[in-house]
Structure 1
Amino acid sequence: MIHAGRLWARGDLGRDDERPGEAERDALRWGLPRIPGRRRPPEPDGLWPDHVDAALAFLAISGQWRGLALADGSVRWIGLDYTAAQAGLALAGLTVTPELWSEIRLIEAGAVEELNRRG
């Protein structure tokens, strides 16, 4: 689920293009040849079926972020605004169980990590 958050933050959630993965980028960086057939085919949407509900819930509230403006003009992403997220989930008609909320928070953790890594 954390990986799904990273994919969302990069704009890659749902992509199935042929961009190189991390291992392939490392190989290219070091001048190593690509070994045909060694790359695993991507999942169509990057999610297991059991996690689709959490991803859809996250997407329903994916605009509800808290950020901290820094003096250098950049933003440090804190996480979702939980009050706004709760309202957004309710308005979307979604019933949030403790298990679903836990999965949403895992996606959030991956997204925060990626957003802050990117600057």
Structure 2
Amino acid sequence: MRVAAPREPDETLKIMPANWPSFIAFLNCSTQWRVVAAGLGGLAWLGLDYTACRQVLEDIAAPSGVFSDIRVMERAALPILNEVDG
């Protein structure tokens, strides 16, 4: 399994103000992904380390409900992160 090359963005990302705290929290958790080696030089993204993410959320004083939003974003990101080149 190989990690796919990043895609060029199709359009500018717009985030509704109500979703901004969840987006910022997701970015703050970006160093908390669980990743394992898969095959010859490939990676498999397993998901976020929830214990570490909860600590991040506490540290940034994230509003309640943000953890649920992060899990939704995680589910959307995993198939993209685990795409295989060609």
Residue deviations 1:85-116, cap 9 Å, x none? 11111122224x2x322211111112212111
CA RMSD of aligned residues (A): 2.3
Name structure 1 gaps, 5 residues minimum: 1-9, 13-18, 22-41
User: TM-score, normalising length from structure 2?
Assistant: 0.74
Name structure 2 gaps, 5 residues minimum: 1-5
Structure 1 or 2, whichever has the larger Rg, is 1
Equivalence for 1:57: 25
In proportion to residue count, which structure has more strand?
Answer: 2
* Inter-partner Cα distance in structure 2 for 1:103 and 1:49: 14
Residue deviations 1:26-65, cap 9 Å, x none? xxxxxxxxxxxxxxxx5x5422222111101111111100
Equivalence for 2:77: 111
Aligned-residue offset at 1:73: 1.9
1:62–1:87 CA distance, 2 compared to 1 (3 A): same
Q: Could you tell me which of 77, 81, 89 is aligned with 2:49?
A: 81
Q: Contact 2:25 / 2:57 at 8 angstroms: preserved in 1? A: yes
In proportion to residue count, which structure has more helix?
Answer: 1
